[in-house]
Amino acid sequence: MRLYLSSHGLGNHIATLHEMVGDNKKVLYIDNAKDDLPADERAQHVAEKHAEFEKAGLDFYELDLRKYIGKPPELLAAIVAAAGLVWCGGGNTFILRRAMKYTGLDTMLQNDLKNDLFVYGGSSAGSIIATKTLRGTEMGDDPYVVPEGYDEEIVWQGLGLLYLQLVPHFGSEWFGEEAQAMADYFDENGFKYATIKDGEVYVVNGQFEKRLS
């Protein structure tokens, strides 16, 4: 299994990401954590990320999961399997989790990553969702924000790709209080967790697993 989990953006270890991805530089970028934004703001964010990934030497393609809700899962599975990197961006973790459930992407990732078919990468919400549970995430993300086309039911279960929880943006000026609240929740409830500051990444590459500062 190969995971590259960042606090913010691509983080400070793009060379490591390239080593993990190898020759297939096709990135499927999922921005559904921002489906609560107005369409023009969401589109602007995707354009900014397109530029960021292309500058880093990666081939960017947006994968909007809303287009695959209610579609045969085989269609999405074929698209995902052709990627070298599947990346979920930041935003509201609970919205992203709903989108994964509605399309079956959650099960696809769990199975495909175990078979080492591609790298999973994410930042902020995209990193949190790789953990076992979204409990504690409500300290920073509102689970009751429901965009058009989504159901109100909250999915609390993460993808379970990591044995510990992640706290992104730790110590940051703009999200530090929320990150500290998440860490406090994990302390109080006996969860093992790792904090990651903006720029840092948490990497899993086979047997190798480490936070890179």
CB 123 within 8 A of CB 11: yes
pLDDT of 62: 98
If phi > 0 it is left, if psi is from -120 to 50 it is alpha, else beta; for residue 171 that is left
Taken in order 199, 205, 74, 80, the sign of the CA dihedral is: positive
Reading across the β-sheet that carries 119-123, which strands appear in turn?
Answer: 59-62, 26-30, 85-88, 119-123, 2-6, 201-205, 208-212
CB 179 within 8 A of CB 207: no
Q: What is the CA radius of gyration of the chain?
A: 16
Mean pLDDT for the stretch of residues 85-90? 98
Q: Tally the domains of the chain.
A: 1
Please provide residue 78's backbone torsions phi and psi, each rounded to the nearest 5 degrees: -65, -40
* Tens digits of residue pLDDT in 52-68: 999 999 999 999 999 99
Q: Which residue range(s) make up the domain with 180?
A: 2-212
Distance CA 27, CA 29 (A): 6
Distance CA 18, CA 29 (A): 16
* Tens digits of residue pLDDT in 141-167: 999 999 999 999 999 999 999 999 999
**Burial status of residue 45 (CB atoms within 10 A of its CB: 0-12, 13-18, 19 or more):** middle
Q: Give SS3 for 211.
A: strand
Residue 174 clears pLDDT 90, i.e. is over it: no
Mean pLDDT for the stretch of residues 25-47? 98
Distance CA 28, CA 175 (A): 27
| Total Cβ atoms within 10 A of residue 51 | 11
Tell the residue number behind the tokens 């023009």, with chain if given.
Answer: 40
Residue 179 clears pLDDT 90, i.e. is over it: yes
pLDDT of 136: 97
**DSSP at 201:** E
Average pLDDT, the chain: 97
Mean pLDDT for the stretch of residues 64-73? 95
Mean pLDDT for the stretch of residues 16-40? 98
- CATH number of the domain residue 208 falls in: 3.40.50.880
β-pair partners for 204: 3, 209
